[in-house]
Each structure stands twice: as C-alpha cells, then as structure tokens.
Amino acid sequence: GADTVPQAPEDPLFGLMAAFKNDQDPKKVDLGIGAYRDDNAKPWVLPVVKQADERLRADPELNHEYLPIAGLADFTSASQKLILGKSSPAVQEKRVISLQSVSGTGALHLGAGFLAKFYNPQNAEAKAIYVSSPTWANHNQIFANSKLPVKNYPYFSKQTKGLDFDGMTSTIQSAPEGSVVLLHACAHNPTGVDPTQDQWKKIAEIMKQKKHFPFFDCAYQGFASGSLSRDAWAINYFVEQGFELMIAQSYAKNFGLYGERAGCFHFVGAPSPSAQEEVTRVGSQLAILQRSEISNPPAYGARIASMILNDDQLFAQWEEDLRTMSGRIIEMRKSLQSKLEQRGTPGTWNHITDQIGMFSFTGLNEQQVQKLREKFHVYMTKNGRISMAGLNTNNVDYFAQAVDSVVRE
C-alpha cells in the first residue's frame, strides 16, 4: 500500500519559486528560475506572440481536435529549418525525422526512451549518456527514469569560471567507444559557458574518432548571441561532419511560451544511400513511444510558433523581440560587473560578461547564497547560479551591494 512510499524531496527550483512568492519583503529579488522578465521584473509576452495569438483566436476555423501523433506538420518542418538551416542538405535528403514534443523536456524524454530501447553499441558498456558536470538538474532524472545510466564529463573550471576544456575532452576521449554525449547547443545551463567554435571542432573530432553519439539539447536558440543561426552553429557543424545525432529543441524561452509546452525532437541520419529508409524506421518507433506516453502533443503553443516561423514578416518581428531580450540581459551583465568592480568587491567579475545566455554562474558558494536569501531576500539556486533576466535597472544596484556584503563577510 501507499504506506511504503517514502516522501520525495521538493524540486529545488520550484521550491525556491514558492519561497520567493511567500516572502513579503518589497526588496526581494528573484534570480531563480530561468524565465525572461522585463525591466519591471514582469513576465513578458513577446509582441510577436501576442500578434500571432490574436490572429489565431480570430480564425473561425480554429478547433480543438487532436493533432497527429507526430504533431503539427507545418510546425515540425519549420522547426527543422530553424535549427538546421533553410537549405540544409540533411533536410533536402530527407534524413531528418521530427516529432513535436512536450517542450524541451518532452523531447529529451522521447530521445531517452528511444535510446533505452534501441541503442545497441558494440560495447554494451557504452550504453550510457555523458552529461556535463554541472548540468541542468532535470537531465539526470530524465535519463535515469528511462533506465539510461548517466555519467559525467567535467565542464566548468572553478579557477577561471570558464570552460574546463581539457577535463571535458579527456573524459570524452576515454569514454567507452560509442557512448552517448549530451551537449548543450548554446547558452549552457547552469554555467553560461560555451565552447568556442575551435573547441567545438576539437570536440567533434574526438567524438567522431570514438564513434560517440551526440544528443544536442537546444533550449536557448536566439538567446545566447541574439542570432538564431549563430546559436545553432555547433549543431550544424556536427551535421556537416556527417554525424548521426539527435536534437531536443525547446521554444519555451525563445518564444516565451513556457507553459504552452512547444518543442520538437529531431533525429538526423548520417549521409548514406539508406539514410532516408533508416530514419523512416526510426520515426515509426518514435511514433509508438509518443503514442504510448502522450498520444499526441499539445496544439496551442505549436500553432503560435508555427504561424511565426512560417511567415516572413512575423519571423522578422520575432528576431527583433529576441534581440530585445538578449540585449537587455547583456546590459544587465555589464551593469552588474561594473557595479561590483566599482565597489572593489573581492574577486574577479569578468566572467559575468564572458558568460552568455540566461544564466551566470557567479562563483558564490552555498553559504553566501544562503546569506543572500536570509539577509537580503535574494533568491537563487545554491550552486551560485543567477538568472540574469531577474535583474533590472531597479534592483541591480541592490543585488551588487548584497553580493559585496556577503563576499566580504
């Protein structure tokens, strides 16, 4: 009976959100969850999303029927083009199979289920997925739930607060041949640290030599550099290099469609005469996994995203909205760094502007994070990560002052 079920710990991030909500201090600052906020700390509905939404609601043909198992075809095909490029040979050669997913999490889960069932490397030990240390906490439980052993590769250097490239590459190099490696396509969560293009080339070279299987998690396209194509550079480099790979694509952040759960899963076959036939078989199995878990994906967010992706004028407006978000975040990075440097806060702070995307890995330790919360009503994850989007022109000075105080203690 239920008397044997142990109490599970609360999800740390959603627990943090609840604690923030309950805090009555007007100075409180939410740097926890990775959701974009405007300069007034309010959720931001992208103007382009508002426009698409209004158009959608005005459509007298709109109904609430089921989507197909693989989702809305206009959405999945536009998603392929967005992530692989308009003239992608992989798409033209029909060696990409795509299923609409329950946002990025659902795409990761679908990929995990597929690997658990069908991934059969010659060396059975290679049937494991390597994730960066640290990584988005949910990665560990998504893969573990699918009975896929999770291993780690080093990623972050505490000294430089940048990439531990040697640690990363030497672990990938020594992993059993044919291992699965999860890679953050851009704007690494939680560190904000991405490999350079030269480093990506080296990673690809090692992975090719070791016949590893790349699984890209792309949750921040357009958020890192402000350019959609630049943020997909690593994925496209790997595709050009002829890898067979998978991609989990989320539209939560870049469309601000968090709760609508719009995303896409892609399987890209390696170039070969039989590729098209192979990915068709892969797709048939993915359809069964999808059917048994969600039957068919949610429609509303995908309809909005699809309308924007398939309309040149809306697409251009979207790119502008993306620049608004990434631009404000970059301004906050500059502002925070300069405020800390002006105060002479002990330590170096250049990593705040060197890191990119939604997050910064500040280097603050667990004790300092706790003090920030107790004394200053600042909420952030205990690993020292802050969501840059939680900072604005009204609170950045207060936050810098709070950091300065706990660092000096």
Kind of pairing between the strands at 156-157 and 162-163:
antiparallel
User: Whole-number minimum distance, CB 265 to ligand PMP, in Å?
Assistant: 11
* Span of 50-58, 102-110, 267-275, 314-322 interacting with ligand PMP by CB under 6 A: 102-110
Interacting residue with ligand PMP among 219, 245, 264, 302 (CB under 6 A): 219
Q: Does 228 bind ligand PMP (CB under 6 A)?
A: no
User: Whole-number minimum distance, CB 217 to ligand PMP, in Å?
Assistant: 5
Q: Does 105 bind ligand PMP (CB under 6 A)?
A: yes
Nearer to ligand PMP, 183 or 402 (CB): 183
Nearer to ligand PMP, 130 or 349 (CB): 130
Q: Does 263 bind ligand PMP (CB under 6 A)?
A: yes
Instruction: List the catalytic residue out of 28, 127, 253, 371.
Output: 253
Q: Does 104 bind ligand PMP (CB under 6 A)?
A: yes
Q: Does 250 bind ligand PMP (CB under 6 A)?
A: yes
Interacting residue with ligand PMP among 80, 169, 189, 360 (CB under 6 A): 189
Instruction: List the catalytic residue out of 30, 164, 194, 217.
Output: 217
Interacting residue with ligand PMP among 79, 88, 100, 103 (CB under 6 A): 103
Q: Does 34 bind ligand PMP (CB under 6 A)?
A: yes
Q: Does 282 bind ligand PMP (CB under 6 A)?
A: no
* Span of 97-105, 296-304, 317-325, 377-385 interacting with ligand PMP by CB under 6 A: 97-105
* Span of 101-109, 228-236, 305-313, 380-388 interacting with ligand PMP by CB under 6 A: 101-109
Interface of this chain with ligand PMP, residues 127 to 156, rule: CB under 6 A:
136
- List residues with catalytic annotation: 136, 217, 253
Q: Which residues bind ligand PMP (CB under 6 A)?
A: 34, 103-105, 136, 184, 189, 217, 219, 250, 252, 263
